[in-house]
Chain A
Amino acid sequence: MRYLKLWMQYVAIQLAKDMAYKTNFFIKVLSLIIADVIGPIITILLYANTAGIPGWTFEEFILFQGTFILVFGLGHLLFFGVPFEVVHMVREGEFNKILIAPINPLMNVSFRSFDLEGFAEVITGMVLIMWALFRVDFVLMGMIAYVILIVAAVLFMYSVFVIISSISFIVVKTYALIDLFFKTSDIARYPASIYGSALRFFVSFLFPIAIAAYYPSMSLLRGVSWPWMIQVLAPVTAFFIFALIIWEVGMKRYTASGG
């Protein structure tokens, strides 16, 4: 409850900040929608001129794209700002305040990184998903798995951003790592089934970004089984635990060096 109240406070502050440059804020929101709508337009052009992506009808691939946009929108809304916040605070020495506050430091930093713009992407993604859901055959049980896997996808991306933030305690310049994350996650913009086995292994187990759109869409369209769910969720859980450990290590480094 206390956490919810705090979160609301930070959202209010963020809103006030955004309203300081209203025009820019609205153009920013518009720009996100434009950038996200380009993907489906390309899909239309692609399917109009070719047979499309093997095994995926036009409507199914729109569902896939919508899922990708929704998941990244949620990340944008909730925590893409965390490494920037941490870098800023470590550099300015503000991180001490976080340590003194009677709130879990990771939660505190995450709350501060709320970014209202992400809503634009969340809504764009949802619109695409809704549009597609009326036009594809989906498995009802898959719906539950779909929601679970989207939560897992958000959790996985959160883990990545927590790891990057933890590295910021040691080397301050981590923007390159964020760039690298987004470039690598471009692999997940298309179904993992089109890739060679090495790349497929990479996005499924080593860096399970395929969960951003491929696995949720697969569960919805092709059905699920318990072993499959476990196989998909295990790498994500491992990543999350790893992230929490690294975060603790990073924080210890900060306390030790920052005094």
Chain B
Amino acid sequence: MRENFALTEAGFKVGLIYRLHYFASLLSVPVSLLIYFYLWKAIFAYSNATVIKGFTLDEMVSYYVLVMLVGFITYSECDKWIEESVVRGDTIMALLKPYRFIVWHYFFELGLTGLGLIIEILPVFVVGFFFGLKIASIPYLILFVISLALASALYFLVTFIVGLTSFWLFKIGGLRRVKRSMLAFLGGSMLPLTFFPETVQNIFLVLPFQYMRYIPILIYLEKYSIPYSITLLGIAATWVILLYVLARLMWNAAFKKFAGAGT
């Protein structure tokens, strides 16, 4: 385990190099929230409603604060790292190391996210409270933390799988962009999923997407009963296992492909 955290430390240090990027994204937090605040204020007033699709105006604004919070915590771009190492041809270095490829990337990412947590999370909370974010009660807070852990595992696994495709496709900038926008859209980052038709929502229930953003947010907002929340977390955990198996299978194939090409 100690070795694994050495990787985390490395990730942390690499993240420091890009700290300017973190600050830029920090500045964007109040801007984005201001946009959503005015947008929903206008829509609520124009619709003459206090509750739209299960959300009050305050809850709607909190929803977007939480979208950002969950987004920062579950952030992963290991697909970019994998792509770079495949294109540059230094994947061999990664294979020589006494780590499993996936473990290496996971702990490296943990360091990157760790830095993000320190720099970004606190300001988001501060800005969030300014926009009326309330602290959830203890049981929901605990469930929220568990759902976050599952969400970040899911997000990491999907990103890792996308990253592995670079063994076949080399440059995957386009695929990474598809991943980003699809996960944002289907995960509920842009609009609460209750705005979708009932049937679509039921399909979302068995897909992994909503467990990366939407479910943690709704648990925080105490929209579900505790037993139901636990059921949802069970589905999320099942997806973690399924995606892990898929990632391992893909890695085995990628490894064969890599060895076969002899590059």
Measured CB to CB, the residues of A under 8 A from B are 21, 23-32, 34-35, 38, 41-42, 45-46, 48-54, 173, 175-177, 179-180, 183-184, 186-187, 189-190, 194-196, 199
- Tell me if A38 and B43 are in contact (CB < 8 A): no
- Tell me if B52 and A186 are in contact (CB < 8 A): no
- Tell me if B174 and A196 are in contact (CB < 8 A): no
Given A21-B171, A176-B21, A187:B35 Cβ within 8 A = yes
- Tell me if A23 and B48 are in contact (CB < 8 A): no
Closest residue on chain B to residue A54 by CB atoms: B46
Given A21-B171, A24-B173, A24-B174, A190:B21 Cβ within 8 A = no
- Tell me if A46 and B43 are in contact (CB < 8 A): yes
Given A53-B42, A184-B31, A195-B38, A28:B185 Cβ within 8 A = no
- Tell me if B195 and A49 are in contact (CB < 8 A): yes
Residues from 23 to 57 in B contacting A, C-beta threshold 8 Å: 23-25, 27-28, 31-32, 34-35, 38-39, 41-43, 45-49, 52-53
- Tell me if B174 and A51 are in contact (CB < 8 A): no
- Tell me if A51 and B27 are in contact (CB < 8 A): no
- Tell me if A183 and B178 are in contact (CB < 8 A): no
Q: How far is the CA of A52 from the CA of B31 in the complex (A)?
A: 22
- Tell me if A29 and B32 are in contact (CB < 8 A): no
Told that A28-B174, A35-B177, A38-B181 touch, could you supply 5 new A-B pairs with CB distance under 8 A?
A24-B175, A27-B172, A41-B185, A176-B23, A190-B35
- Tell me if A183 and B39 are in contact (CB < 8 A): no
11 contacts between A and B (CB under 8 A): A24-B175, A28-B177, A34-B182, A35-B181, A49-B53, A176-B23, A180-B24, A183-B25, A183-B27, A187-B34, A190-B35
**B120 to nearest A CB, angstroms?**
14
Q: How far is the CA of A203 from the CA of B39 in the complex (A)?
A: 15
- Tell me if B20 and A173 are in contact (CB < 8 A): yes
- Tell me if B24 and A199 are in contact (CB < 8 A): no
Residues of B within 8 A of A42 (CB): 185, 190-191
- Which of B31, B39, B45, B175 is within 8 Å of A190, CB to CB? B39
Measured CB to CB, the residues of B under 8 A from A are 20-21, 23-25, 27-28, 31-32, 34-35, 38-39, 41-43, 45-49, 52-53, 169-175, 177-178, 181-182, 185, 190-191, 195-196
**When A and B form their complex, which 5 residue pairs have the shortest distance between CB atoms, in order from nearest?**
A28-B174, A27-B174, A183-B28, A176-B24, A31-B177
- Tell me if A176 and B173 are in contact (CB < 8 A): no
Residues of A within 8 A of B35 (CB): 186-187, 189-190
Closest residue on chain A to residue B45 by CB atoms: A54
Q: How far is the CA of A189 from the CA of B35 in the complex (A)?
A: 9
Q: How far is the CA of A250 from the CA of B182 in the complex (A)?
A: 40
Given A24-B173, A46-B191, A176-B21, A31:B178 Cβ within 8 A = yes
Q: How far is the CA of A124 from the CA of B48 in the complex (A)?
A: 33
Counting chain B CB atoms within 10 Å of each CB, which of A45, A184, A189 scores highest? A45
**A119 to nearest B CB, angstroms?**
14
**B151 to nearest A CB, angstroms?**
21
Closest residue on chain B to residue A182 by CB atoms: B28
- Tell me if B175 and A27 are in contact (CB < 8 A): yes
- Tell me if B43 and A52 are in contact (CB < 8 A): yes
Residues of B within 8 A of A46 (CB): 43, 191, 195
- Tell me if A28 and B173 are in contact (CB < 8 A): yes
- Tell me if A180 and B27 are in contact (CB < 8 A): yes
Given A30-B174, A34-B181, A176-B21, A186:B46 Cβ within 8 A = no
Residues of B within 8 A of A173 (CB): 20
Q: How far is the CA of A21 from the CA of B20 in the complex (A)?
A: 31
- Tell me if B178 and A30 are in contact (CB < 8 A): yes
Given A42-B191, A45-B191, A199:B38 Cβ within 8 A = yes
Q: How far is the CA of A50 from the CA of B38 in the complex (A)?
A: 15
- Tell me if B20 and A25 are in contact (CB < 8 A): no
Q: How far is the CA of A195 from the CA of B182 in the complex (A)?
A: 28
- Tell me if B178 and A50 are in contact (CB < 8 A): no
Residues of A within 8 A of B20 (CB): 173, 175-176
- Which of B23, B38, B41, B178 is within 8 Å of A27, CB to CB? B178
Q: How far is the CA of A195 from the CA of B31 in the complex (A)?
A: 12
- Tell me if A38 and B177 are in contact (CB < 8 A): no
- Which of B28, B34, B52 is within 8 Å of A49, CB to CB? B52
Residues of A within 8 A of B173 (CB): 24, 28
Q: How far is the CA of A49 from the CA of B60 in the complex (A)?
A: 14
Residues of B within 8 A of A27 (CB): 169, 172, 174-175, 178
Residues of A within 8 A of B191 (CB): 42, 45-46
